[in-house]
Amino acid sequence: MKDSFPGSIPGKKRRRTKCYVPQKNSASYAILITLYREMTRGKAFMMKQELSDAADASGLTQFAIETNPGCSQNDYYTGWSCMKTLLSNALVVKWSNPAKYRLTEEVEKLLSIVSARSGSAAKEISLSDSDSDSDSDELHEGNKPLIG
């Protein structure tokens, strides 16, 4: 048999790995932008409840980012559940007890480059609390060339 790639298994397709980019108005998106805003203000890290409250108050997500779900089954998934995805994709670092969170250096650099390239994206990411569709579209467009 002739393999197209050395060491590959015949009949198996290679998976293309993509970088995780959160969707606009998702809880992941709100958490990343909130962490970036606070880091640009000089904060080194955020605690779990502080981050959850700030992301809720930012208005960047349609969903509540509660950290303590209620007893019913409908409350099992909250916006905070996306933190596992952010951690597994190395966008956020968690350490200590009680937990402290911060952006990884790569993500911080990426967001600063995107905000420097686009004035309106910088307005959204930085200290401004307003959000508009055109701003966040430009933020995602800035991410696309760096993916993969």
**Joined tokens for residue 59:** 């208005």
For the chain, 148 residues long, give each residue's pLDDT as a single digit of tens. Answer: 554 556 656 776 766 667 788 888 889 989 999 999 999 999 999 999 999 999 999 888 877 887 665 655 566 678 888 999 999 999 999 999 999 999 999 888 888 887 777 654 445 554 444 443 434 444 444 444 344 3
C-alpha 96/C-alpha 51 separation (Å) is 15
CA distances from 49 to 11, 46, 54, 66, 67 (A): 48, 8, 9, 9, 7
Ordered by where they begin, the domains of the chain are 27-146 (1.10.10)
Q: Is the entire prediction scored with pTM above 0.75?
A: no
Question: For position 113, what pLDDT does the model report?
Answer: 81
